[in-house]
Structures are given as structure tokens and as C-alpha cells.
Amino acid sequence: MPHGILADTTAGKVGGSGQTSIITLEDLIDLEHSVDPAYRRSAQCGFMMNDSTIKVVKKLKDTQGRPLWLPGME
């Protein structure tokens, strides 16, 4: 029987103690690499985030002030 999309998941990357509203590029890299490489290379692999999480990720910038999140970026 199907369990749903989140019923059998485990946390791939958990922020540090007390880290609730700050996301770093290092966190995203750790999250990406917490997924099995064979699955990560699959075209069906993707990330699902809460809208408020995506909002924080979209605000990440490099040292030149350029956004790290660009529409259509792979």
C-alpha cells in the first residue's frame, strides 16, 4: 500500500542546534550530497521545500552580491 510522499522519508540534512531561519550555501550542498548519488543523477530527482524556505534560499547571494538562485538554473 502506498504511504504518501513523506511518510517514509528521513532527514537528509538537519541545521545546527537553534538554526531555524538561516540557510547557507553549505547547508544546500550538504543536503544535495545527503542523497544517494545514483538517485541524485536521475531526472526524477528534485527537492521539495516549504514556501518560506524557498524565500530564504532565493535571497542567498555570492560575495559579489549576485543571487545564487536564478530561474532555470541547473
* Residues 52-71: tens digit of each pLDDT: 888 888 899 989 999 988 87
Residue 48 domain flag: yes
Residue 70 domain flag: no
What residue numbers bound the domain in which 52 lies?
25-58
The residues, any chain, with a CB within 8 Å of residue 2's CB and separated by 6 or more, are none
pTM given for the model: 0.65
Residue 45 domain flag: yes
Residue 20 domain flag: no
Domain count for the chain, please give it: 1
Residue 69 domain flag: no
Q: Quick check: 33 and 12 in contact, CB under 8 A?
A: no
* Residues 15-33: tens digit of each pLDDT: 666 666 788 888 888 888 8
Residue 18 domain flag: no
